[in-house]
A and B are shown apart, each in its own frame.
Chain A
Amino acid sequence: TQLLEQSPQFLSIQEGENLTVYCNSSSVFSSLQWYRQEPGEGPVLLVTVVTGGEVKKLKRLTFQFGDARKDSSLHITAAQPGDTGLYLCAGRRSSGSARQLTFGSGTQLTVLP
């Protein structure tokens, strides 16, 4: 079973539309990160959220960490074709080895021009 569940798994939208990607778990995380991955390359970090209820904005991207630190969301406003990629959430658990970073199942986003 996947510790971090992402939804939707696939998302195809038109340029200019808004979208939200979700990352959910039954476990509590000390921090949660969002990565974006291009085909054939390694993931690149977008943001890290640490505090429950925290909201971070990165241009058209808004990231939120749930109050209970079990879930997170990524909202993109006015999506552009350059936003196309695989979005991955990853969390460090509060219990167990803090050195382990657990990844979600990923959301493949395609933004059509």
Chain B
Amino acid sequence: SQTIHQWPATLVQPVGSPLSLECTVEGTSNPNLYWYRQAAGRGLQLLFYSIGIDQISSEVPQNLSASRPQDRQFILSSKKLLLSDSGFYLCAWSPPGQGAGTEAFFGQGTRLTVV
């Protein structure tokens, strides 16, 4: 069965420090991978998605970047964090291909607080 791991669960970082959040998927090959950010009690904003190694699409201009160095590894990074980067970050995967009923499976999320 497929599993998704996201870490760390919580993170407190000072303004101006770097960021690296990691997500790995097991039990599947060539998954579509996503990074979302969620404001408290609200919907999810898509930040990045990837259909393959080194193939990253950015949805919104921001202080963040994403990389996919391996097929099942997706990393969210920042060189210098801003206060506005605080939030709940979610990694997700979906099966490859463009099937209409393809759903996304989410990690447990990372609560990032920039102080």
Give the Cβ gap from A47 to chain B, nearest Cβ, in Å.
9
Give the Cβ gap from B105 to chain A, nearest Cβ, in Å.
7
A88 touches which one: B44, B51, B107 (CB < 8 A)?
B44
Q: In the bound complex, do residue A86 and residue B41 qualify as a contact, i.e. CB atoms below 8 Å apart?
A: yes
A6 touches which one: B36, B43, B59, B109 (CB < 8 A)?
B43
- Please name all residues of chain A whose beta carbon is closer than 8 Å to the beta carbon of B34 when the two chains form the complex: 101
Give the B interface residue count (CB, 8 A). 29
Q: In the bound complex, do residue A50 and residue B100 qualify as a contact, i.e. CB atoms below 8 Å apart?
A: yes
B43 touches which one: A31, A42, A88, A97 (CB < 8 A)?
A88
Give the Cβ gap from A65 to chain B, nearest Cβ, in Å.
11
How many CB-defined contacts (below 8 Å) exist between A and B?
68
Give the A interface residue count (CB, 8 A). 29
Q: In the bound complex, do residue B103 and residue A106 qualify as a contact, i.e. CB atoms below 8 Å apart?
A: no
Task: Given A33-B103, A45-B105, answer yes or no on A103-B98 (Cβ-Cβ < 8 Å).
Answer: no
Known: A103-B36, A103-B45. 19 other contacts (CB 8 A): A31-B100, A40-B109, A41-B109, A42-B106, A42-B108, A43-B44, A43-B90, A43-B106, A45-B103, A45-B104, A50-B100, A50-B101, A90-B104, A100-B49, A101-B92, A101-B104, A103-B44, A104-B43, A105-B43
By a beta-carbon cutoff of 8 Å, the part of chain B in contact with chain A is 6, 32, 34, 36, 41-46, 49, 51, 57, 59, 90, 92, 94, 98, 100-109, 111
